[in-house]
Amino acid sequence: MSVFGASIKRREDPALITGKGKYTDDLVRPGMCFAAIVRSPHAHARIMSIDTSEAATAPGVIAVFTGQDLVRGEAGGVVPTCWLLPNLVTPDHPILAKDLVRHVGDGVAVVVAENRYQAHDAAELVEVDYDPLDAVTDVVAALEPGAPQVHAEAEGNLAFDWDLGDKEKTEAAFSQAAHTVSVDLRNSRLIPHAVEPRGALAEWDDAKGELTVWVTSQNPHVHRLLMTLASIGLPEHKIRVIAPEVGGGFGSKIHHYPDEAIAAWCAMNTGRPVKWVATRSETNLTDAHGRDHASHAEMALDAEGRIIGLKVETKAAMGAYLSTFAPSVPTYLYGTLLSGQYDIPAIHVRTLGAFTHTTPVDAYRGAGRPEATFLIERIMDLGAAKMGLDPGDFRRKNFIAPDAFPYATQVALEYDSGNYGPALDRALEMVGYQALRDEQAERRKSGDGKLLGIGLSTFIEACGLAPSQVVGSLGAQAGLWESAKVRVHPTGTITVYSGSSGHGQGHETTFAQIVADRLAVDVDQVEVVQGDTREVQFGMGTYGSRSAAVGGSAISEAVDKVIAKGKKIAAHLLEASPDDIVFEDGAFHVQGVPAKTQAWGDVVLQAYLAHNYPDDLEPGLEETAFYNPANFTYPFGAHIAVVEIDRDTGHVELRQYACCDDVGNVINPMIVEGQVHGGLAQGIGQALWEEAVYDDYGQLLTGTLMDYALPRAHMLPSFDTDRTVTPCPHNPLGVKGVGEAGTIASPAAVTNAVVDALSTFGVEHLDMPLTSEKVWRAMNQSGNGQG
Amino acid sequence: MFPGNFEYVRAGNLKEALTLLSGEDCKALAGGHSLIPLLKQRLAQPAKLVDISGLDELKGVTVEAGKARVGALTTHRELAASEALQGAAQVLSEAASKVGDPQVRNRGTLGGNIAHADPASDLPAVLLALDAEVSIVGPNGSRSTKADGFFSGLMDTDLAENEVISHVEFSSLGAGDASAYCKFEHPASGYAICGAAAVIRGSEVRLAFNGVAAVPFLASAVGDSLSGSDLSDAAIDSALSALEHDDPLSDLHASAEYRLHLAKVYGGRALRAARDRRG
Ligand SMILES: Cc1cc2nc3c(=O)[nH]c(=O)nc-3n(C[C@H](O)[C@H](O)[C@H](O)COP(=O)(O)OP(=O)(O)OC[C@H]3O[C@@H](n4cnc5c(N)ncnc54)[C@H](O)[C@@H]3O)c2cc1C
């Protein structure tokens, strides 16, 4: 059996599950000391004075710095945003606040001490005199006249006002509609919660003028570039950024945070290696949060129930500062997905980005696409109800037909491929849909104490970020290609250097599978290196379900070049023309003359012995490819949730969850399934339990895991997963990406199930999380349903 | 998160523990599953921790001559697994089995749980429903107090700084008696948003709640109206419909109104479960 497509075990795991993985906090450097950051307890306040004298003389303290100290030269001292929308307001984000703090957790000073206990003890001694100011944390309130201002330069707290689609055409569609439905909804704010908290270890080599930063990063080259351009200002070849083992990210470790720049400044100013690692409470206050939208959506239908128009207005929180990719999330990663799997002839979306006195918001697993999917899949259920149709039938009626691909949506994407019916059919079959509907009718009739609900979510995502020309034209300040270098050693073993930067996904295994399959070598002969700017050529990193589709394709193209070079060597050895050489089953031979063969190992060895080469053949066997995808990839699927609600308490229990995803070709089914499971847990978590909540003063009420409800294994059913396979037509591997599918699809599936269960109470919509009390109130306050 | 500096000493026996605890700014450490989190958040910063977890004299369950005696250092896991308690007070095992997760149950203790007196803890209501006595030793000897008077406020008890809970005692349940604990969990912490402990002893019914208010409480009116009744569903529902509290807790996860509603639902479930368990 081919190694591509085999569920081989992850080679990463033995070290990780036996505690031998080396994460940032496991690293020790000679003379290393520790930093603790003093953070604002206020959401909005003027810093009147900072007295560091007591902290500076506390035991073990090496240095104390404030925002005033951490500026040097022209560049430096701020973290930038990298996705510039038209008319985007981009206030500075200083790495330590200078005069104003803008969210609870904003850094104001840093203490460096011999050990982390002393650093934290002394941090308590830094006296900051604050003059507290009014704060605004709610995205809708922030845009209202008279709201407290987050930045003087952003009038009315507006960061941007963006739209996409054809407004007039959409209005015209609504004027012809036979039916319309509308919904006001919130997409709740989430805190990422990677198991490994963020951290950085910085070491300054004064003699060479070189800085090394080990950081919990999903994209070390991007971190290095931003340190050069904005936060540190050293030339790029004098900074080395290393992402050692990284324990999860979900987007939260894409961004360049102040903290790693602070650690670097401390190292440069003390001459000692400085480690900073967030406490769990600190991560909750400072890791970029996700989602936080307030939207109004309307859908226009013709008399037969076909969708003829969709209009959406969304207010999206940016938080106190624009994080690295924040402006792209509620715009190009959101508005572009609002056509879903449906043939919608007119769409218009407007997004207002708002500053709030909260932790910044940026990409979090799915980034924009879960928000789009939640909105469209919710309003699809409202449309189905309006038309009196089963939600599956209503969706099917509006699916883009299988022969309509490539399909250009009204919101700037061209779907390259798709076939949505079979995945829905399969998912319905997996849950036993008709039997469930019968059971539901039966229970309703008997007045059962448990209400049954069934929810569908047929979703699409744009993954494999991203075709460089497209994202460049949309405001990204860089293309989103990926690089790979394949180095074949003289004895035939191989090292792959990938610009992707895995942090739990299993790249070391799947990337080796790609190479082993192409070159017909044993998978154990292939090693994968990633996450170090000195070892790896420039790369864009891991996020947006891009690593297989873009990083993997880069590897495949580098392998093509290796094979092409191998053919030249074989041609030389076989005294034939390179054009006549074919590579098959791990050997080079002359086309049509199988006897004239050179084994892989012989060719590779000759590449390095190379003592009788013709002039035009270079020694060595090592090739690099920079792969730029032609388009996004478009994974899709159908997810179905089945819930039971306790009539007495409103408690929702997820009874069953089935999904049929189409992620294109599959490199390692076990890893794909793991990705789906993890994604589902996060999406279901948002639907039922998770929410970051601020009070009116800007205090995070859900700042610990005692209040922020993460899903745990016992809260979830055993998932039933399946796949259809529609290969991606435009990349060499036919893969589409799977990292975000579960998170994108499941919030809508679960919410639709809960609303379905409550439909007899006249409930049409509930915002996430669907807490017991919220559901109980819905049953007891609205309508006159049974029970 | 990092605790402030503290000293640590391990007591070899109860007498030594009491001597050590009579020092300035000391705190007893049992399983550490409530105290250590407070230290890490710097909500408590005692100068010295006196580790009492090695004191065998404060461990274990004995049931003899109609009396059950449970040592303060008995862990949740031991309570949950205790065969003797299945007959003597199933409600205590059942509640202990619903505390936290296996790690918490392996370390956390009955004494620590009631001394800490978190309003959302599971064991306080159980002691109220069992009409237990809490035995306390201090520098001036030992004393005991009814569970009903022990819990005095939000995370506050009748315990003095330098005292140690030695054990808890109650009359064991007999044939024909029954008890049950039903819990509505907080989705994040797993603590009780509402925990209801019901004990039916002969014709006497006692029902108590955790999680609903700042202090665990006995729903005496409910118990009184059900004592001697047939415990039919109708009787239970009618008794509970009168359940009231002046000041239920209210937070992000459950408003006061909802908590009181849950108390009625879970009170009913605990009473029915106990009723149905009677021989
Ligand atoms: C993740 C987690 C989940 C939890 N979930 C639950 C839950 O669902 N339900 C629940 O009820 N509890 C829960 N707990 C708390 C748990 O039950 C604790 O173990 C218990 O509350 C405290 O017992 P301890 O032995 O750990 O006490 P410690 O933490 O050692 O001490 C707590 C307090 O009691 C004092 N103390 C301890 N023993 C004595 C004694 N014999 N005499 C006098 N004072 C004493 C200490 O000085 C301290 O003030 C949870 C804890 C954690 C960490």
* pLDDT tens sequence across A349-403: 999 999 999 999 999 999 999 999 999 999 999 999 999 999 999 999 999 999 9
CATH of the domain at A64: 3.90.1170.50
- Residue A787 has a pLDDT of 36
Residue nearest to atom 45 of ligand 1 (CA): B112
Ligand 1 midpoint to CA B151 (Å): 15
Alpha carbon distances (Å) from A734 to A554, A573, A659, B182:
13, 34, 21, 53
Contact B67/B39 with Cβ under 8 angstroms?
no
B269 to chain A: nearest residue by CA?
A648
CA atoms within 13 A on the CB side of B115: 28
Grade residue A486 by pLDDT with cuts at 50, 70 and 90: very high
Strands A652-662 and A720-723, bridge-based pairing: parallel
The reported pLDDT for the residue numbered B279 is: 72
Exposed / middle / buried, residue B266 (Cβ in 10 Å: 0-12, 13-18, 19+): buried
The verdict on A675 and A771 lying in the same domain is yes
Distance B64 CA to ligand 1 centre (A): 27
Domain membership of residue A303 (yes or no) is no
Average pLDDT over residues B99-111: 97
Residue of A nearest to B250 (CA): A773
Report d(CA A324, CA A329) in Å as an integer. 10
Q: Which residues contact A634 (CB under 8 A, 6 or more apart)?
A: A413, A415, A416, A417, A418, A460, A461, A462, A463, A728, A736
Question: In b/e form, how buried is each residue of B31-66, taking b as 16+ CB within 10 angstroms?
Answer: bbbbbeebbbeeebebebbbbbbebeebbebebeee
Asked whether residue A321 is domain-assigned, the answer is: no
Q: What is the pLDDT of residue A784?
A: 40
Is residue A18 a part of any domain in this protein? yes
- pLDDT tops 60 at residue A72: no
Q: What is the pLDDT of residues A545-565, one digit of tens each?
A: 999 999 999 999 999 999 999
Q: Is the pLDDT of residue A540 over 90?
A: yes
Report the residue from A121, A279, A773 with minimal CB separation from B255.
A773
Sign for the CA dihedral angle at A214, A220, A225, A226 comes to negative
Q: Give, in degrees to the nearest 5, the angle at Cα A340 between A339 and A346.
A: 15
Last residue of a domain, one of A586, A606, A627: A627
C-alpha of residue B95 to centroid of ligand 1, in Å: 14
Question: Exposed/middle/buried for B233, CB within 10 Å: 0-12, 13-18, 19+?
Answer: exposed
Question: Any CB–CB contact under 8 A between A280 and chain B?
Answer: yes
- Token digits of residue A36: 């603790």
CB contact under 8 A, B265 and A280: no
Query: Nearest C-alpha to atom 1 of ligand 1 is from which residue?
Result: B100
Q: Per DSSP, what are the bridge partners of residue A46?
A: A100, A131
Regarding whether A228 and A115 lie in a shared domain, the answer is: yes
For residue A193, which amino acid is it? H
A638 and A616 assigned to the same domain:
no
Co-location of A678 and A534 in the same domain = no
Residue A481 Cα to ligand 1 midpoint, Å, equals 53
- Which residue is closest in CA terms to ligand 1's atom 21? B113
User: What does DSSP assign to residue B133?
Assistant: E
Structure-token match 């506050």, residue found: B156
Q: Is A781 in the B-facing interface, judged by CB distances under 8 Å?
A: no
Residues forming beta bridges with residue A297, ordered by sequence position: A183, A312
pLDDT tens-digit readout, A564-590: 999 999 999 999 999 999 999 999 999
* A649 closest CB neighbour out of B184, B186, B189: B184
Contacts of B186 in chain A (CB under 8 A): 709
pLDDT at A71: 66
Listed residues A602, A627, A652: the one ending a domain: A627
Q: How far is B1 from chain A (nearest CA, A)?
A: 5
Q: Which of A744, A746, A741, A761 is nearest to A716 (CA)?
A: A746
CB of B77 within 6 A of ligand 1: the answer is: no
Average pLDDT for residues A468-493, to the nearest whole number?
88
User: pLDDT grade, residue A256 (50/70/90)?
Assistant: very high
pLDDT digits (tens, 9 = 90+) for A74-129: 557 899 998 889 899 999 999 999 999 999 999 999 999 999 999 999 999 999 99
Reduced to 3 states (helix: H, G, I; strand: E, B; else coil), residue B128 is helix
Instruction: Name, in order, each residue with C-beta under 8 angstroms of B186's C-beta and a sequence gap of 6 or more.
Output: A709, B120, B192, B193, B253
Q: Which atom of ligand 1 is nearest to the CA of B36?
A: 29
**Residue the block writes with tokens 């009359």:** B171
Q: Answer whether A760 touches B (CB < 8 Å).
A: no
Q: Are residues A705 and A596 in the same domain?
A: no
Statement: residue A474 has pLDDT above 80: no
Say if A368 falls within a structural domain: no
CA A397 to CA A458: how far, in whole Å? 13
CA distance A688 to chain B (A): 9
Question: Residue B274: left if φ>0, alpha if ψ -120 to 50, beta else—which one?
Answer: alpha
Residue A661 shares a structural domain with residue A767:
yes
Which ligand 1 atom is nearest residue B72's CA? 41
pLDDT at A470 over 90: no
B179 pocket-lining for ligand 1 (C-beta < 6 Å): no
Task: Say if A609 is an interface residue toward chain B (CB within 8 Å).
Answer: no
Confidence class for position B269, pLDDT limits 50, 70, 90: very high
Residue whose C-alpha is closest to residue A289's, from A371, A348, A377, A393? A371
Number of separate domains in chain A:
3
| Model confidence at B144: pLDDT above 60 | yes
Give me the helices (H) in A432-506, please: 433-446, 468-473
- E-assigned strand segments in A398-493: 407-408, 414-415, 450-460, 482-488
Distance (Å, whole) CA B110 – CA B115: 9
Q: Does the pLDDT at position A785 exceed 70?
A: no
A296 strand-pairing partners: A184, A313
CA–CA gap between residue A767 and residue A771 (Å, rounded): 10
B252 lies within 8 A of chain A by CB = yes
Picking from A708, A709, A773, the nearest residue to B258 by CB comes out as A773
**A47 to A44, A127, A133, B139: CA distances (angstroms):** 10, 11, 11, 50
The helix (run of H) or strand (run of E) holding residue A371 is helix A369-387
Q: Which residue has the higher pLDDT, A484 or A473?
A: A484
- The pLDDT assigned to A478 comes to 78
Contact B220/A at CB under 8 A: no
Closest CA to A501 of A194, A210, A222, A199: A222
Helical segments of B64-156, H only: 76-81, 83-88, 90-97, 102-107, 110-116, 123-130, 147-150
Tell me the mean pLDDT in the region A461-485: 86
- Asked whether the predicted pLDDT for residue A783 surpasses 60, the reply is no
DSSP string, A739-757: TTHHHHHHHHHHHHHHHHH
CB atoms within 10 A of CB A71: 17
Q: Does A701 contact B252 at a Cβ distance shorter than 8 Å? A: yes
Name the residue among B1, B186, B258 with its Cβ closest to that of A279. Answer: B1
Q: Find tokens 């009579």 and name the residue.
A: B22
Which bin fits A141, alpha (ψ -120 to 50), beta or left (φ > 0)?
A: alpha
Q: Is A470 inside any structural domain?
A: no
In this predicted structure, the answer to whether residue B49 has a pLDDT above a threshold of 50 is: yes
Substitution candidate for ligand 1 out of B104, B122, B150 with most atoms within 8 A of CB: B104
B139 touches chain A (CB under 8 A): no
SS3 A436: helix
Q: How confident is the model at residue A68 (pLDDT cuts 50, 70, 90)?
A: confident
Q: Is the CB of B29 under 6 A from ligand 1?
A: yes
CATH number for the domain that contains residue A713: 3.30.365.10
Evaluate whether residue A468 is within a structural domain. Answer: no
Number of CB pairs, chain A paired with chain B, less than 8 A apart:
53
The pLDDT of residue B146 is above 90: yes
The predicted pLDDT at position A786 comes to 39
Say if the Cβ atoms of A773 and B252 lie within 8 Å: no
Give the structural domain span for A572: 481-627
pLDDT digits (tens, 9 = 90+) for A676-703: 999 999 999 999 999 999 999 999 999 9
On whether the CB atoms of residues A427 and A405 are closer than 8 A, the answer is no
Judgement on whether residues A101 and A118 belong to the same structural domain of the protein? yes
pLDDT digits (tens, 9 = 90+) for B177-201: 999 999 999 999 999 999 999 999 9
Examine the domain organization and report whether A619 and A637 are in the same domain. Answer: no
Tokens, residue A508: 């070391």
Closest ligand 1 atom to Cα of B163: 43
Q: Say whether pLDDT at B27 is over 50.
A: yes
Work out the angle between the directed axes of helices A553-574 and A600-609 (0-180°, nearest 10). 80
Residues B91, B172: contact at Cβ < 8 Å? no
**What residues of chain B lie within 8 A of the CB of A771, using their CB?**
187, 253
Tell me, yes or no, whether A596 and A685 share the same domain: no
B198: helix, strand or coil: strand
Find the mean pLDDT for residues A654-671.
97
Tell me how far apart the alpha carbons of residues B195 and B182 are, in angstroms, rounded to a whole number: 6
Residue-wise pLDDT for B79-95, tens only, equals: 999 999 999 999 999 99
The Cα–Cα gap between B36 and B27 comes to: 11
Give the mutation target among B25, B58, B70, B99 for probing the ligand 1 site: most ligand atoms within 8 A of CB: B99
Which protein residue's CA is at the shortest distance from atom 4 of ligand 1? B100
Q: Does residue A73 have a pLDDT over 80?
A: no
Cα torsion through A221, A225, A226, A228, rounded to 10: 140
User: CA A549, CA A556: separation in Å to the nearest integer?
Assistant: 10
Residues 6+ apart with CB under 8 A from A610: A617, A619, A620
Q: How confident is the model at residue A340 (pLDDT cuts 50, 70, 90)?
A: very high
| A637 in the same domain as A603 | no
- On whether both A104 and A46 belong to a single domain, the answer is yes
Residues of B in contact with A777 (CB under 8 A): 258
Contact B258 A776 (CB under 8 A): yes
In three-state secondary structure terms, A81 is coil
What separation in angstroms does the CA of A781 have from each of A161, A197, A452, A750, B250?
37, 42, 19, 22, 19
Ligand 1 center from residue B266 Cα (angstroms):
24
What's the confidence (pLDDT) of residue A535? 96
Could you tell me if residue A358 is inside a domain? no
DSSP A610: -
DSSP tag of A726: -
Most A CBs within 10 Å, among B258, B264, B272, to test the A interface: B258
Within A627-711, where are the H helices? 669-688
3-state secondary structure of A271: coil
Instruction: Tell whether A80 and A223 lie within a shared domain.
Output: yes
Write down all domains in chain B, each with its CATH number in brackets. Answer: 7-51 (3.30.43.10), 178-277 (3.30.390.50)
- As a whole-number percent, the residues of chain A with pLDDT over 90 amount to 93
| DSSP-assigned beta bridge partners for residue A127 | A51
8 A C-beta contact, residue A32 and residue A200: no
Of B5, B188, B261, the CB nearest to A705: B188
pLDDT at A517: 97
ipTM (interface pTM): 0.95
Phi/psi region, residue B259 (left: phi>0; alpha: psi -120 to 50; beta: rest), is alpha
Confidence (pLDDT) at A782: 55
